[in-house]
Chains A and B, each alone.
Chain A
Amino acid sequence: MATATTPSRRKSRLNRQGRAAHVFMLPWLVGLVGITAVPTLASLYLAFTDYNVLSTPEFIGLANFERMFADERFWQSVRVTLTYVLVSVPLQLAFALLLALILDRGMRGLTFYRSAFYLPSLLGSSVAVAVLWRELFGHSGLVNSALALVGIEGSSWLQNPQTALGTLVVLNVWTFGSPMVIFLAGLRQIPEELYESARVDGASVLRQFGSITVPLLTPIIFFNLILQTIGAFQAFTQAHVVSGGSGGPVDSTLFYTLYIYQQGFTAFDMGYASALAWVLLVFIGVMTAGHFLLSKYWVFYGD
């Protein structure tokens, strides 16, 4: 009798637990559907419409996508964003790896340094830091004050189209903490015996780095590369705050996301903004897929 009722009770308990799991998932599910999935699908529809936020969207087929080809500011935003990604992501990863290698040597106060270096990652995309950046690189900012001490008269780094984007690259590189922590974790996974063997064989530090560290770290490098690249394509706050939302001077900091924002919320051209957003989404998707395809040639999982 007891053996006959036990599976039933267990099944009932599992059902109750299943229901409980669904109830607890409900808030998240509501958020996913209501705040992410539905607006995403809505924007896909809006990408094929003429929609000014206030009136009823009017279906116009591929016109928004065709418009991009002749839109000089669209191409400028593509150039700015690609430059930013191609320059800032490798620099950031290189800097993060360098710091991780230094911290991996087991120096005193490691916990403090790790936390201190991680801090900019938490602050880097904040409005406060972007405002700070504006003050640092302004005409009378700290950078020019420091240059003045050695007799160099600087101009406003943010008002020069040749240097404005560079300041944002520096800001992104400064937020190296997040990839650094991941690199550090990866470095800890590399067996010490490999280095000992290499040293016995007379390998230099550089040779050890090139033949042991980098190959065994490639999965981590790959992970960081994907994460930081996607993040860089979506960079917005820094450019918005530093340029006052204009992407200036003369569109030199017109990030793609900033252009989407301008079209949607300033020009009330939400249909076009939706189309731009979908182009970015598809591009990031294709680029990420490309990264995965190429990864088999340079990422070593050790299995």
Chain B
Amino acid sequence: MREMSRRNMLKFAAVAGMAGTAAACSGVGGGSGGGGGGGTDAGGSATLRYAWWGNNVRQENYTNALNAFMEDHPEITIETEFAEYTAFQERMTTQMAARNVPDLFWVPSAQVMTYYANGLFHDLDGVGTLDLSDYSDADIDGLRLDGVHNTMALGIFVPVVRYNATMAEEDGVTLPEGEDWSWDGFTEFAIDYAANNPNGRWAVNYGPDHDLTLEAWLRQRGEQLWTEDGQIGFTADGIASWLDFWENLRLAGAAPSLSEQDGVGADWSLIGERVLSYFGNSNHIIDDAQFFPEATFLLRNMPVAADATAGHPYLYTPRLAIYGDIDEANLEAAGTLLNYSANNSDMLRITGLTMGAPVNPRVAEEVTEFASPDEQQMLDAVSHDRALERNPRYEAPAGSSTWRTILTRVSEQVALEQSTTVDAATAMIAELQAAIERAA
């Protein structure tokens, strides 16, 4: 009896071991067709993996929105994959290496061309369930990569100056208006404010590492971040002038030091009560204003230099894509979900507008009915720039994925007075150029 029990147990262990081995081996699949539980069945149902990034509030909101989608589309099951922004990119890297990429995924800005170059985007032309009838040709053309429409926009961001109107009123100041709303005009105002406000507040965060505002600065100078042929579009002079702008503010006491704001990327929760204004993305007001509910925050579009190049405004569009190697049987289901994500105000009613103003003009109109005051500020800022003449904008080329890290590092060197602005800018370009050449 004892012998039999052991034999049975060994058989069980052997079977379990083999099953475990098989399960482990099947863990690497591709998109919905892999071992991750995706796939279609004879009844036409589909399971899709949807990956996005953000904070816990966004996670909850989008999970609710995706649940609502599944209630309306019981034939489609969504498996969610959420992470914080940096962790999202790290996980995508391993998923790409294993060809185990989610069926729908948000695309980090620095990775657009890297993902594209490696076939991660599915061509959206011919996806019948994706409705593009509300869009203008220009809207879709703006999303094309090498002439191929292979991503949709989640929304639109523009660079802005966010300021605390309650604080301005307390201190009896008004930000420059009209022609005075220039970089020089802002600098003059900021230095004067910091020197004279009674509460020892700074005028602005120290923000040379912010990508969207740097891009605005460069485009006004006639430069750009990236060229159409995937090269660096800025000069050392351009970067140095940007760093000089911030150093001028910091040295004059209008902006905090790295120590005072705990890093180049300021901790908003730490300095929000002590700075009048903040250079950032238009969408950030939605989350950041929640930190200080007693205050009213307003947005201004970027200051404009007197000699700014025509067509300098631009729109930044975070993207959403369908995986290039998705199980084709799931493509139309993915199109349905993509359509819900880009063209449905009901979803935005649940998620809020943290991913910016809708590109779809119909949806952009519909969201005004329920947008909060902060969201309305964001919509107005985007509408302002969207109405202006805009030169083309190009995505970051393959190999440049670390450019923001490099910018942060050289900004630290300058702020800590370990480098001149010109040397820092030159070093940044050299490091970036080497990375792009290696990736070519």
* B416 beta carbon closer than 8 Å to chain A: yes
A50 CA to B437 CA, complexed, in Å: 13
A248/B262 in contact, CB under 8 A: no
A34 CA to B13 CA, complexed, in Å: 20
A245 CA to B438 CA, complexed, in Å: 23
Give residues 415-440 of B contacting A (CB, 8 Å). 416, 418, 435, 438-439
B412/A139 in contact, CB under 8 A: no
* B173 beta carbon closer than 8 Å to chain A: no
B118/A249 in contact, CB under 8 A: no
* B388 beta carbon closer than 8 Å to chain A: no
Among B10, B118, B412, contact of A19 (Cβ-Cβ < 8 Å):
B10
A265 CA to B108 CA, complexed, in Å: 14
B20/A139 in contact, CB under 8 A: no
A34/B24 in contact, CB under 8 A: yes
Q: Which residues of B contact A19 (CB under 8 A)?
A: 10
Q: Which residues of B contact A161 (CB under 8 A)?
A: 416, 418
User: Chain A binding site: helix, strand, loop or mixed by DSSP?
Assistant: loop
Closest to B405 in A: A246
Closest to B12 in A: A23
CB distance from A69 to the nearest CB of B (A): 15
Q: Contact mask A118-147 → B, CB, 8 Å, 1/0?
A: 000000000000000000001110000000
Closest to A240 in B: B86
**Which of A84-92, A105-113, A152-160, A199-207 sits within the interface?**
A152-160
Q: Which residues of A contact B100 (CB under 8 A)?
A: none
A250/B416 in contact, CB under 8 A: yes
A54/B262 in contact, CB under 8 A: no
A20/B270 in contact, CB under 8 A: no
A265/B93 in contact, CB under 8 A: yes
CB distance from A258 to the nearest CB of B (A): 12
B14/A267 in contact, CB under 8 A: no
* B60 beta carbon closer than 8 Å to chain A: no
A173 CA to B324 CA, complexed, in Å: 49
B114/A251 in contact, CB under 8 A: no
* B413 beta carbon closer than 8 Å to chain A: yes
Among B97, B258, B267, contact of A249 (Cβ-Cβ < 8 Å):
B258
* A266 beta carbon closer than 8 Å to chain B: yes
Q: Which residues of A contact B20 (CB under 8 A)?
A: 27, 30
B263/A159 in contact, CB under 8 A: yes
Closest to B14 in A: A23
* A274 beta carbon closer than 8 Å to chain B: no
B89/A266 in contact, CB under 8 A: yes
* B392 beta carbon closer than 8 Å to chain A: no
* B96 beta carbon closer than 8 Å to chain A: yes
B438/A269 in contact, CB under 8 A: yes
CB distance from B113 to the nearest CB of A (A): 12
Give residues 248-299 of A contacting B (CB, 8 Å). 248-251, 262, 264-270
A163 CA to B401 CA, complexed, in Å: 29
* A116 beta carbon closer than 8 Å to chain B: no
B side interface size, CB within 8 A: 43
Q: Which residues of A contact B258 (CB under 8 A)?
A: 156, 159, 249
A140 CA to B271 CA, complexed, in Å: 10
CB distance from A209 to the nearest CB of B (A): 42
* A55 beta carbon closer than 8 Å to chain B: yes
* B21 beta carbon closer than 8 Å to chain A: yes
* A244 beta carbon closer than 8 Å to chain B: yes
A55 CA to B114 CA, complexed, in Å: 11
A266/B263 in contact, CB under 8 A: no
A140/B270 in contact, CB under 8 A: yes
Q: Which residues of A contact B177 (CB under 8 A)?
A: none
A158 CA to B438 CA, complexed, in Å: 33
| Known contacts A30-B20, A54-B96, A156-B258; A139/B413 CB under 8 A | no
B86/A156 in contact, CB under 8 A: no
* B290 beta carbon closer than 8 Å to chain A: no
* A68 beta carbon closer than 8 Å to chain B: no
* A37 beta carbon closer than 8 Å to chain B: no
| Known contacts A53-B96, A54-B118; A267/B401 CB under 8 A | yes
A249 CA to B209 CA, complexed, in Å: 13
CB distance from B345 to the nearest CB of A (A): 35
* A52 beta carbon closer than 8 Å to chain B: yes
Query: Which 6 residue pairs spanning A and B have beta carbons closest together?
Result: A54-B118, A155-B259, A156-B259, A26-B17, A159-B258, A53-B97
What are 30 contact pairs spanning A and B, CB under 8 A?
A16-B6, A26-B17, A27-B17, A50-B438, A53-B97, A54-B114, A138-B267, A139-B259, A139-B260, A139-B261, A139-B262, A139-B270, A140-B270, A155-B260, A156-B259, A161-B416, A246-B408, A246-B409, A248-B409, A250-B409, A250-B412, A251-B409, A264-B93, A265-B93, A266-B90, A266-B401, A267-B399, A267-B401, A267-B402, A268-B401
Known: A27-B17, A266-B90. 20 other contacts (CB 8 A): A16-B6, A16-B10, A20-B13, A23-B13, A50-B438, A54-B114, A55-B118, A155-B259, A156-B260, A158-B263, A159-B263, A160-B259, A244-B263, A246-B405, A249-B258, A250-B409, A250-B412, A250-B413, A266-B405, A267-B399
Chain B interface residues (CB < 8 Å from chain A): 6-7, 10, 13-14, 17, 20-21, 24, 86, 89-90, 93-94, 96-97, 114, 117-118, 257-265, 267, 270, 399, 401-402, 405, 408-409, 412-413, 416, 418, 435, 438-439
